[in-house]
Structure 1
Amino acid sequence: MTNVHETVASLADEILNDLAGSRTALIYAPNTIGKTRLAQYLKERDPDGVVLYNSFIEDVFTWDNERVVLKVNPASELLETIVTQGLDSAIIDNFKAFTSGRIEPRLDFESGEVGFGIHKGDDSSTDGIKISRAEESIFVWSVYYSVLSEAVETLRDNPELRSTPNYDQLTLAVIDDPVSSMDDVRIVSVALALAELVKRASELDLKFVIATHHALFFNVLFNSLRRRSDRAYVLAQSTAEGWTLAKQSKDAPFSYHLGIVKDIQKAISENAIERVHFNQFRALLEKTANFLGHTGGWGELLVGPDASLMTKILNLYSHDRFADIDTSAVAEEYKDAFKSEFQEFLKTFRWADAA
Structure 2
Amino acid sequence: MTEPHETVASLADEVIQGLAESRSALIYAPNTIGKTRLAQHLKNRDPDGVVLYNSFVEDAFTWDNDRVVLKMNPGSELLETIVTQGLDSAIVDNFQFFTSGRIEPRIDFENGEISFGIHTGDDGSTDDIKISRAEESIFVWSVYYSVLSEAIETLSDSPDLRSTDSYDQLTLAVIDDPVSSMDDVRIISVALALSNLVKRASAINLRFVITTHHALFFNVLFNSLRRKSDRAYALTKGTVDGWMLNNQPKDSPFSYHLGIVKDVQGAISANAIERAHFNQFRALLEKTANFLGHTGGWGELLIGPNAALVTKVLNLYSHDRFADIDATNVADEYKEAFKTEFEEFLKAFRWAAGA
Please say whether Structure 1 and Structure 2 have the same fold, judged by a TM-score greater than 0.5.
yes
What's the CA shift string for 1:139-197, capped at 9, x where partnerless?
11110011001111111122221111111110000000111111222111111110111
Question: What amino acid is aligned across from residue 214 of structure 1 in structure 2?
Answer: H
Q: Is residue 258–residue 352 contact of structure 2 (8 Å, CA) maintained in 1?
A: no
Partner residue in 1 for 2:39: 39
Q: Which residue of 1 aligns with 2:291?
A: 291
CA distance in 2, matches of 1:206, 1:292: 42
Aligned to 2:244: 244
Instruction: Tell me how far 1:316 sits from its aligned partner.
Output: 0.9
Question: Conserved in 1, the CA contact under 8 Å of 2:32 and 2:327?
Answer: no
Structure 1 327/30 Cα, relative in aligned 2: closer, same or farther at 3 Å?
A: closer
Unaligned runs of 5+ in 2: none
- Pairwise CA distance, 1:73: 1.0
Distance (Å, rounded) in 2 between the aligned partners of 1:354 and 1:66: 54
- 1:161 and 1:290 mapped to 2: Cα distance? 52
Q: Which runs of 5+ in 1 are unaligned?
A: none
State the SS of the aligned residue for 1:330: coil
Q: Equivalents in 1 of 2:24, 2:17: separation in Å? A: 12
Q: Deviations over 1:205-254 (max 9, x none)?
A: 10000001111111111111010001111111123221111111011112
In 2, the alpha carbon distance for the partners of 1:63 and 1:306 equals: 36
The secondary structure found in structure 1 opposite 2:251 is coil
CA contact (8 A) 2:239 2:266 kept: no
Alignment correspondent of 1:264: 264
**Distance between the aligned counterparts of 2:115 and 2:24, measured in 1?**
35
Q: Tell me the residue number matched to 2:11.
A: 11
Measured in 2, the distance between the counterparts of 1:327 and 1:33 equals 8
Matches for 1:112-191 after TM superposition, within 5 Å: 112-191=112-191
State the partner residue of 1:199. 199
In structure 2, C-alpha distance between the alignment counterparts of 1:306 and 1:6, rounded to whole Å: 34
Secondary structure at 2:175 match in 1: strand
- Following superposition, the deviation at residue 91 of structure 1 comes to 0.8
- Return the alpha-carbon distance in structure 1 between the equivalents of residues 199 and 294 of structure 2: 33
Q: Aligned residue for 1:254?
A: 254
1:278 is matched with which residue? 278
Q: Which residue number in structure 2 is paired with residue 333 of structure 1?
A: 333
SS of 1:352's equivalent?
coil
- Taking the aligned partners of 1:349 and 1:213, their CA distance within structure 2 comes to 23
Q: How far apart in 2 are the matches of 1:107 and 1:250?
A: 42
In the alignment, the residues of structure 1 paired with residue 121 and residue 288 of structure 2 have an alpha-carbon distance, to the nearest angstrom, of: 47
Amino acid at match of 2:320: D
Amino acid at match of 2:271: N
Are 1:172 and 1:206, in contact at CA under 8 Å, matched by a contact in 2?
Answer: yes
CA separation in 2, counterparts of 1:180 and 1:86? 27
The DSSP-based 3-state class of the residue aligned with 1:5 is coil
Count of aligned residue pairs for this structure pair: 355
| CA contact 2:222–2:232 (8 Å) conserved in 1 | yes
- With 80-89 and 19-28 compared, the bigger mean Cα shift is at 80-89
TM-score (norm 1): 0.96
Compared CA separation, residues 336 and 188, structure 1 to 2 (3 A): same
> Distance in 2 between the 1:182 and 1:311 partners?
21
Percent identical among aligned pairs is 80
Deviation at 1:354, TM superposition (A): 5.8
Distance in 1 (CA, whole Å) between partners of 2:303 and 2:131 is 33
Aligned to 1:68: 68
Q: How does 1:90-129 map to 2 (within 5 A)?
A: 90-129=90-129
Letter of the 1:183 counterpart: D
The answer to whether the Cα contact below 8 Å between 1:215 and 1:287 also exists between their aligned partners in 2 is no
1:50 counterpart letter in structure 2 = V
Partner secondary structure for residue 284 of structure 2: helix
Distance 1:224 1:290, change over 3 A: farther
Report SS of the residue matched to 1:9: helix
Which residue identity does 2:229 align to in structure 1?
A: S
* Larger mean Cα displacement after TM superposition, 16-25 or 306-315: 306-315
Following the alignment from structure 2 to structure 1, what is the Cα–Cα distance between the partners of residues 309 and 128?
A: 36
Q: Which secondary structure state, in structure 2, belongs to the residue aligned with residue 110 of structure 1?
A: coil
**Runs ≥4 residues deviating over 6 A:** none
Does structure 1 residue 313 correspond to structure 2 residue 320? no
Paired position in structure 2 for 1:348: 348
State the alpha-carbon separation in 1 of the partners of residues 327 and 16 from structure 2: 28
Q: Which residue of the partner structure matches residue 55 of structure 1? A: 55
1:295–1:184 CA distance, 2 compared to 1 (3 A): farther
